[in-house]
Amino acid sequence: MDLWSFIKKYYIDSIVYKEGYNIVNTLTWAAILVLVAYFLYRFLEKRFEIDEKFILATVPYVFLGSFSRIVEDAGFLNPPTSYLFMSPFIFFLIFLLAFPILIVSRKIKKYYIPYAFVGILSSFAVLVLLILNLRIVNPLVLPSSISMALLVSFAFFAIFKNTRNFASFSVMFAHMFDGFASFMGISYHGYVEIHVLPGFIVEYLGPIALPLVKFAVIALALLIVESEENKNLRNFIKLALLILGLGPALRNALRITFAV
């Protein structure tokens, strides 16, 4: 296999033909994500206090990314534009919007207000677009997955005292939301898992294993993260975990809700 054939098989075809992830592109995107996250953290820690206000102000951009992803899922966009709204490019697209707004907002003392406002306004506009153009087919998926995620998250919150903070609760909730939404989509609505490791779990342990495995992994991760003394680093890691959980959770739940 020559270089072009390799790139086409493991990177291009997975996007163009929506074949999902494979071990090669999964490892590649993960490595890029870690590298970008490292340099982004080094930049942010010198200019911002990465606290819960920072995390909350960033969350609307996660909503924007998920809602924009549904725009592509619903077929509102054509290639090659549609490729920009697919993973992993959607992460970079939202970053290119959010990062300049964050830097400009820094000139204001309460920077998180205008920063969050642009994210809220943008995500709301896309959500309205979806609601006006799509039909709700499975109305119980969103409230059911959110309810189960909240139940598990509160249980985790009650058991592990050193994780009793909003950021850790949000991370657990996001991943439980994703786990239960994926479970419902695979079990009852004909959806399939396209990621490598979750796909392996579903194949050998069944869809119900997704929220169970996610709980174990995220619980362990949060217990480790809470031991980090550097507050900025601790909260940045939580923000990264929150994005990785909430983004897919919203996209999956809404995709099933609208049956796209």
Q: Residue 248 burial (CB < 10 Å; 0-12/13-18/19+)? A: buried
Tens of pLDDT, residue by residue over 73-92, are 999 999 999 999 998 899 99
* Domain extent listing, the chain: 1-44, 49-134, 136-260
Q: What is the mean pLDDT of residues 30-41?
A: 95
Mean residue pLDDT of the chain comes to 94
Spatial separation of the C-alpha atoms in residues 81 and 241, rounded to whole Å: 28
From first CA to last CA, the distance across the chain in angstroms is: 36
Residue 46 or 163, more confident: 46
Using the structure block, give the residue that is written with the tokens 């997704």: 210
Tens of pLDDT, residue by residue over 94-138, are 999 999 999 999 999 899 999 999 999 999 999 999 999 999 999
Tokens of 167: 């950021």
Q: pTM for the whole thing?
A: 0.94
Spatial separation of the C-alpha atoms in residues 189 and 171, rounded to whole Å: 26
